[in-house]
Amino acid sequence: MSSFIVIDDDRTVRSVIVKIIEQYGLGDVYGEADDGVSGEEMILRYKPDIVMIDLLLPQQDGISTMKNIKALNVRSMFIMLSQVSDKDMIAKAYECGIEFFISKPINVIEVVNVVKRVKEYLSMKKTFEAIESTAMTLGRSNVGSPGRKLDNVRRILNQLMADLGILGDLGSRDIINICTMLCEDSDLGEALEDTQLSELLKLLQSKYSSEGKGFTSDFKAIEMRMRRTVGKAMKNIAAMGIEDFSNDKFTLYSSSLFDYADVKMEMDYIRGKAKYGGKINIKSFIKRLLVMVEQIA
């Protein structure tokens, strides 16, 4: 859940915003302040995800408060509230780093929509930071022979499968092999968008046969293995989100490897709130895996 601090010298406005955040399940309000100085102290203490702050405040205005906070590398995101309609003042607020500007009087729908957009942006930032963190952990390896690059691709894929809780599954082996095959054959990789899943599976089947590995060779059987494995991965990620919505792996994989709407449906299914879980799309999963591998490798 996202954390909030609300700073406004009007108690009624603060009360309305807090009520909207709580009523619409947007996050948790860590504190309220009625002036810029005490608001700044509260932000430094709690380091919230989102600060909703009035432009004109006693002791220290909203822009000055935000500039002080950003100078200290606190990564809170700011939504500014004001009755001021001066375009130059609003432009200055954006230049100083606010994410959105909400005009008073407060409109419930506008607040909800703006907060959701900021939360989506926050989630994207965390996703890219998690990708960067994974890249740092695994190490970048763009330099070297093609063989070394493929080894690095396999290493990254194994780590991703482990994160998803599916590394030991037979379908995971198929997924890693098909991704490696696409990375190895640049022409095939570039044609992925226009290639049917059945064609990819037949190529993998042929590869297994030519290498004499003795894996189950029927491409339909390969598809079923992969479908079960991707379904298990989604279920594992959904379970992470139910346990802890701010879990780094949930934040990263729920939106990068799956459509979040499907993960949310899977969460509702696990909770018994829906008759069906999220939809599985093997080709989409493979494409997203390859994008992530490309960003990390």
Domain 2-127: give its CATH superfamily: Response regulator (3.40.50.2300)
**pLDDT grade for 207, boundaries at 50, 70 and 90:** confident
pLDDT at 26 over 50: yes
What gap in Å lies between CA 9 and CA 1, rounded to an integer? 26
What gap in Å lies between CA 205 and CA 45, rounded to an integer? 58
Q: What are the domain boundaries of the chain? A: 2-127, 139-296
pLDDT tens string 141-182? 444 555 667 788 888 899 899 999 999 898 999 999 999 988
Counting other chains too, the contacts that 16-23 makes at CB distance below 8 Å and 24 or more residues apart are 16/106, 17/52, 17/81, 17/106, 17/111, 20/106, 20/108, 20/111, 20/112, 21/115
**pLDDT grade for 68, boundaries at 50, 70 and 90:** very high
pLDDT tens string 215-266? 556 788 899 999 999 999 999 999 998 887 767 788 778 878 888 889 989 9
Contact 255, 207 (CB under 8 A): no
Q: Edge-to-edge strand order for the sheet containing 2-7?
A: 27-33, 2-7, 50-54, 77-82, 100-103
Mean per-residue pLDDT over the chain, rounded: 85
What gap in Å lies between CA 20 and CA 290, rounded to an integer? 40
Ranges 91-100, 128-137, 233-242: which has the least confidence: 128-137
pLDDT at 209 over 70: yes
Amino acid at 122: L
pLDDT at 25 over 70: yes
Return the pLDDT at 28. 93
pLDDT tens string 32-46? 999 999 999 999 999
**Comparing C-alpha atoms, which of 224, 234, 210 is closest to residue 174?**
224
CA distances in angstroms from 39 to 67, 111, 121, 209, 260, listed in the order given? 13, 20, 23, 67, 34
Q: Which pTM was predicted?
A: 0.54
Mean pLDDT within 18-43: 94
Return the pLDDT at 246. 66
3-state per-residue secondary structure call for the chain:
CEEEEEECCCHHHHHHHHHHHHHCCCEEEEEEECCHHHHHHHHHHHCCCEEEEECCCCCCCHHHHHHHHHHCCCCCEEEEEECCCCHHHHHHHHHHCCCEEEECCCCHHHHHHHHHHHHHHHHHHHHHHHHHHHHHHHCCCCCCCHHHHHHHHHHHHHHHHHHHCCCCCHHHHHHHHHHHHHHHCHHHHHCHHHCCHHHHHHHHHHHHHHHCCCCCCCHHHHHHHHHHHHHHHHHHHHHHHHHCCCCHHHHHHHHHCCCHHHHHHHHHHHHCCCCCCCCCCHHHHHHHHHHHHHHHC
